[in-house]
Amino acid sequence: MITKLTVSDRRFPLEDGAGADSIHTQPVYAYAVCELHTDAGATGIGLAFTLGRGNDLVCQAITALAEPLVGRDIDAVMSDFGNVFRSIADNQHYRWLGPHKGVVHLALAAISNACFDLWAKHRGVPLWKLLLDLSPQAMLATLDLSNLEAVLSADEALALIKAELPNRSLRLSVLESGYPGYDTSVGWFNYDDETIKGNAKRAIEQGFDAMKLKVGSRDIERDIRRAYLIRETVGADARIMLDVNQQWSLPTALQMCQKLEAMRPFWIEEPLHPDDILGHQTLARAIYPIQVALGEHVANRIQFKNFMQAGAAAFIQVDCTRVGGVSEFLTVSLLAKKFGLKVVPHVGDMGQIHQHLVLVNHIAFGLEKIFLEYIPHLREHFIHPAKVESGVYHTPHEPGSSSDLN
The answer to whether position 19 is within a domain reads: yes
The enclosing domain of 175 has a CATH number of 3.20.20.120
Please tell me which residue in 280, 342, 346, 362 is annotated as part of the active site.
Answer: 346
**Secondary-structure breakdown of the chain: helix, strand, coil percentages, each rounded to the nearest 5:** 45, 15, 40
Q: How many residues does the chain have?
A: 406
pLDDT digits (tens, 9 = 90+) for 133-183: 999 999 999 999 999 999 999 999 999 999 999 999 999 999 999 999 999
The answer to whether position 143 is within a domain reads: no
Q: What gap in Å lies between CA 247 and CA 203, rounded to an integer?
A: 26
Same domain, 267 and 362: yes
- pLDDT score for 91: 96
Task: Say whether 4 is catalytic.
Answer: no
Q: What gap in Å lies between CA 264 and CA 261, rounded to an integer?
A: 5
Q: φ, ψ for residue 82 (rounded to 5)? A: -55, -40
pLDDT digits (tens, 9 = 90+) for 21-55: 999 998 999 999 999 999 999 999 999 999 999 99
- Strand duo 372-374 + 179-187: pairing: parallel
The answer to whether position 139 is within a domain reads: no
Domain count, the chain: 2
pTM over 0.95: yes
- Strand duo 315-316 + 342-343: pairing: parallel
How many angstroms separate the Cα of 103 from the Cα of each of 94, 144, 200, 323, 387? 10, 19, 36, 11, 31
Task: Say whether 214 is catalytic.
Answer: yes
Which one-letter amino acid corresponds to residue 207? G
Q: What gap in Å lies between CA 264 and CA 105, rounded to an integer?
A: 36
Chain-wide mean pLDDT for the chain?
97
Which domain-ending residue is among 62, 96, 125? Answer: 125
pLDDT digits (tens, 9 = 90+) for 323-344: 999 999 999 999 999 999 999 9
pLDDT digits (tens, 9 = 90+) for 191-218: 999 999 999 999 999 999 999 999 999 9
DSSP string, 237-285: SSEEEEE-TT---HHHHHHHHHHHGGG--SEEES-S-TT-HHHHHHHHH
DSSP state of 375: -
Which one-letter amino acid corresponds to residue 142? T
Same domain, 227 and 364: yes
Please tell me which residue in 105, 197, 212, 214 is annotated as part of the active site.
Answer: 214
- Domain around 313: 169-393
The enclosing domain of 42 has a CATH number of 3.30.390.10
The answer to whether position 148 is within a domain reads: no
